[in-house]
Amino acid sequence: MKIVILDGYTANPGDLSWDELRKYGELEVFDRTAPDELLCRAEGAEVLLTNKVIINAAAMAALPQLRYIGVLATGYNVVDIEEAHRRGIVVTNIPAYSTMSVAQMVMAHLLNITNQVALHAEAVRKGEWEKSPDFSFAKTPLIELDGRTMGIVGLGNIGRQVARMAQAMGMKVMAVSSKTEEKLRPLGIRKAENYAQLFSEADVVSLHCPLTEETRHLVNRERLALMKPTAILINTGRGPLLDEQAVSDALAEDRLYAVGIDVLTEEPPRKGSPLISAPRCHITPHIAWASAAARRRLIDIATSNVACFLHGKAQNTI
């Protein structure tokens, strides 16, 4: 049986191994696959693994031997699920592999904004502290999080872990969630009545909802207008959750204190993004998921998904 990984580099740039998958068939691993290379590379494959390479109806029609598509991520919008079901092709994803890593990145962005450790460390390196007339030297205001309100949109695995981390730092947590208030109360989370309440009351807003037509540009000019000028926005979810121009304008006009994001609407940002040059906007290049531990879990779960499928007991199916 032929197994093909179309774009394995981000999950495994060379520090991990795909060897466990080799037990289940003839394995070919490509670091990256351009759209015009897909059919040639996937020809004859019964099992196809993809992260960002799009597998649409036309591709499935051209690959008659294809029985299984494994998405090397949690989101599965790169696969035409309806067409796969119509053709009897099993599709799986990798849930919950990066929960701790993404939550940790949320807090890293938040602490970077509130404490500016790198900025102050670099200032010391440049000799600025040496020139200070005082023993204590600060380039920016330092913000204490204790007692402030964290507003979370989406209480899945990552959202709940961010809530726990925020609570450990003394923050109050409120959330927009489909869960009832009775279920949230034992978690110490207050249920927001609506987006308007969350955006207007929260000192920090962190986004952890899926990207749908309803959540696209969830953070728009109207909701930004509700936020405190001292508020912080964090997005480690999906880039299009933000109206990037509206967020950039809010920062430029001092209607928003700071933003920490790990995702953009276009990745890589070939055409640029208004957020890249926006003041007080801190961007990491979609790496929240990519700790070695999380990538190892991803590969282990992907391998288990293939094994279960081959044994007739598919798991993590879409």
CA separation for the pair 61, 66 (Å, rounded): 9
* 276, amino acid identity: I
- Among 114, 285, 104, residue whose Cα is nearest residue 204: 114
Q: Is 238 a catalytic residue?
A: yes
Q: Which residues make Cβ contacts (< 8 Å) with residue 5, sequence separation at least 6?
A: 18, 21, 27, 28, 29, 30, 49, 50, 72
Q: Is 85 a catalytic residue?
A: no
CA separation for the pair 54, 7 (Å, rounded): 11
Residue identified by tokens 């701790």 is: 100
Q: Which of 67, 120, 217, 286 is catalytic?
A: 286
Collapsing DSSP to helix, strand or coil, 215 comes out as coil
Q: 151, 202 in Cβ contact below 8 A?
A: yes
| Tokens coding 23 | 């037990």
Strands 68-71 and 47-50: parallel
Element (H, E) at 233: strand 232-235
Helix axes 157-168, 99-115, angle to 10 degrees: 40
Q: Is 286 a catalytic residue?
A: yes
Q: Which of 148, 190, 238, 297 is catalytic?
A: 238
Is the torsion defined by CA of 275, 278, 281, 287 positive or negative?
positive
Collapsing DSSP to helix, strand or coil, 109 comes out as helix
**How many Cα atoms are found within 13 Å in the side-chain-facing hemisphere of 88?**
4
Catalytic residue list: 238, 267, 286
